[in-house]
């Protein structure tokens, strides 16, 4: 048998897909559907009621509107569809669902802490709380060694690992290139000034949590640690979803008659497409273990 066709998890036990996810995952899948419906409702209100974002600066407002558009058209529908497929036993859908949950938690931390207090505050907090519990519960309902046994390509695993490491390092250096000079100069970073916020929530979340988690997942994947096989697709989904609002923002700026920052579309678009291709390849290598075929 070709080496690349064997499970990259080595001698990990082979378990059918239905046994890779505990029955208790159902409650978290249903909870996430409720969260997605709440999130969609909040995005509709945010896009249709001008007063919701009335306190935002001209630099921050298009980003908030773009995020609502991304939530309404991509993230919330994806969560509902993937949760429904997960309830039917799809391992691929379940792994993608974890990534959408991670993105939603990240996104609603920014909503709850950075958008001025207003009518949607409790809705945002509700979405944040339900998704945190669903994410934690969803991860603990997985038999990571059983998930690892479903992967059939070492090459796909290795490429995914290095992609997470490289992207994590590059974005970390990008954020630090703004934050460190500002600290040394005793000034505020330009992005913080433009949004009129105490700090940049994206930099905080990325530098404190997500980028180290992405790098750690890549390292653990290279070491063939079982948990990384569950986390890697979710991390890639997260990266893809974070690119969508960035791509939508220049469109929103243009529609509003503002100067659009089209320069981000090229690099972020290429990165997003590359990650979509990597994710598709990685998912295609998830097959029933040999003993269950």
Residue 11: the pLDDT is 43
pTM: 0.90
Residue 125: the pLDDT is 97
Residue 196: the pLDDT is 87
How far is it, in rounded angstroms, from Cα 202 to Cα 60?
Answer: 12
Residue ranges of domains in the chain: 20-292
Residue 289: the pLDDT is 64
Residue 2: the pLDDT is 42
Burial class (CB in 10 A: 0-12, 13-18, 19+), 259: exposed
Residues 95, 123: contact at Cβ < 8 Å? no
How far is it, in rounded angstroms, from Cα 108 to Cα 130?
Answer: 11
Q: Which has the closest alpha carbon to 76: 109, 44, 33?
A: 33
Digitized pLDDT (tens) for each residue of the chain, 293 residues in all: 344 444 444 444 333 345 788 888 999 999 999 999 999 999 999 999 989 998 899 989 999 999 999 999 999 999 999 999 999 989 999 999 999 999 999 999 999 999 989 999 999 999 999 999 999 999 999 999 999 999 999 999 999 999 999 999 999 999 999 999 999 999 998 888 888 889 899 999 999 999 999 999 999 999 999 999 999 999 999 999 999 999 999 999 999 888 888 998 999 999 999 999 999 999 999 987 654 44
Q: Which pLDDT tens digit goes with each residue over 87-113?
A: 998 999 999 999 999 999 999 999 999
Q: Which has the closest alpha carbon to 22: 117, 142, 139?
A: 142
Residue 293: the pLDDT is 44
SS3 string of the chain?
Answer: CCHHHCCCCCCCCCCCHHHHECCCHHHHHHHHHHHHHHHHHHHHHHHHCHHHHCCCCCCCHHHHHHHHHHHHHHHHHHHHHHHHHHHCCCHHHHHHHHHHHHHHHHHHHHHHHHCCCCCCHHHHHHHHHHHHHHHHHHHHCECHHHHHCCECCHHHHHHHHHHHHHHHHHHHHHHHHHHHHHHHHCCCCHHHHHHCCCCCHHHHHHHHHHHHHHHHHHHHHHCCCHHHHHHHHHHHHHHHHHHHHHHHHHHHHHHCCCCCCHHHHHHHHHHHHHHHHHHHHHHHCECCCHHHC
Residues 79, 101: contact at Cβ < 8 Å? yes
Residue 16: the pLDDT is 36
């Amino acid at each position: 048998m070709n080496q690349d066709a064997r499970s990259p998890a080595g001698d990990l036990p082979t378990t059918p897909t239905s046994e890779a996810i505990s029955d208790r995952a159902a409650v978290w899948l249903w909870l996430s559907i409720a969260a997605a419906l709440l999130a969609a409702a909040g995005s509709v209100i945010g896009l249709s009621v001008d007063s919701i974002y009335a306190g935002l600066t001209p630099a921050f407002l298009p980003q908030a509107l773009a995020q609502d558009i991304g939530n309404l058209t991509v993230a919330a529908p994806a969560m509902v569809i993937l949760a429904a497929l997960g309830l039917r036993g799809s391992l691929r859908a379940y792994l993608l669902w974890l990534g959408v949950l991670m993105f939603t938690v990240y996104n609603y931390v920014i909503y709850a802490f950075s958008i001025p207090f207003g009518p949607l505050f409790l809705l945002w907090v509700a979405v944040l709380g339900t998704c945190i519990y669903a994410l934690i519960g969803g991860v603990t309902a997985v038999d990571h060694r059983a998930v690892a046994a479903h992967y059939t390509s070492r090459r796909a695993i290795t490429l995914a690992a290095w992609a997470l490491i490289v992207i994590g390092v590059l974005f970390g250096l990008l954020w630090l290139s703004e934050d460190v000079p500002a600290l040394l100069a005793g000034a505020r970073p330009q992005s913080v000034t433009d949004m009129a916020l105490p700090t940049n929530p994206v930099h905080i979340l990325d530098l404190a949590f997500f980028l180290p988690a992405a790098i750690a997942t890549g390292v653990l994947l290279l070491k063939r640690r079982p948990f990384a096989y569950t986390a890697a697709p979710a991390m890639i989904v997260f990266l893809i979803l974070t690119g969508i609002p960035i791509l939508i923002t220049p469109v929103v700026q243009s529609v509003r008659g503002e100067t659009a920052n089209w320069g981000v579309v090229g690099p972020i678009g290429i990165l997003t497409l590359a990650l979509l291709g990597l994710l598709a390849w990685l998912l295609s290598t998830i097959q029933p273990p040999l003993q269950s075929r």
